[in-house]
Amino acid sequence: MKVEARIFDLVTAFCFFIAIVYGVTTYYWSGYGVEPVGLVSLILTGGLALIAGSYMRFISRRIEPRPEDREDAEISDGAGEMGFFSPGSYWPIGMAASVATAGLAMAFFHIWLIVIAGVLILITVGGLVFEYHTGPNHE
């Protein structure tokens, strides 16, 4: 988790640095002062990356080091089963379509379409979660 924490630290530093550069350049070049929307979004993006990086750093202290975190690790240390990944699931496509529908519904503020998209999101998330669920074993 230390590798991921470092990545988020770099994103945090980049966002805060660019927020300063953005604030200064818009103040001097726009003629209207600092452009607030871009500045606030950059600061909030840096803050979100800081939260995620802090969480990963906090977790990395409490778990044993993974091969990615150790300097003396060999490639073979990371070998083995990584988990189960569905070979051909259509649920992510349906979920993406339902979330896109929800986004368009909110952009145009059609309440009826927001409700339909919300139901579709619940159905597709449920389908993805329970795709391989076979139920309890009754013997």
Q: How confident is the chain (139 residues) per 10-residue block, as mean pLDDT? A: 91 98 94 92 97 94 84 84 81 96 97 98 94 71
Instruction: Tell me the C-alpha distance between 63 and 83, whole Å.
Output: 19
Number of structural domains (the chain) is 2
Q: What is the structure's pLDDT at 18?
A: 98
Q: What is the structure's pLDDT at 1?
A: 79
Are 113 and 104 in contact, with CB atoms under 8 Å apart?
Answer: yes
Are 42 and 22 in contact, with CB atoms under 8 Å apart?
Answer: yes
Q: What is the structure's pLDDT at 39?
A: 96
Q: What is the structure's pLDDT at 86?
A: 79
Q: What is the structure's pLDDT at 138?
A: 54
- Check whether residue 21 and residue 53 sit in a common domain: yes
Token pair 């990545």 is found at: 7
Q: What is the structure's pLDDT at 119?
A: 98
Q: What is the structure's pLDDT at 22?
A: 96
Domain that holds residue 57: 2-72
Token pair 């003396």 is found at: 72
Instruction: Tell me the C-alpha distance between 86 and 100, whole Å.
Output: 23
- Check whether residue 11 and residue 53 sit in a common domain: yes
Residue 16 covered by a domain: yes
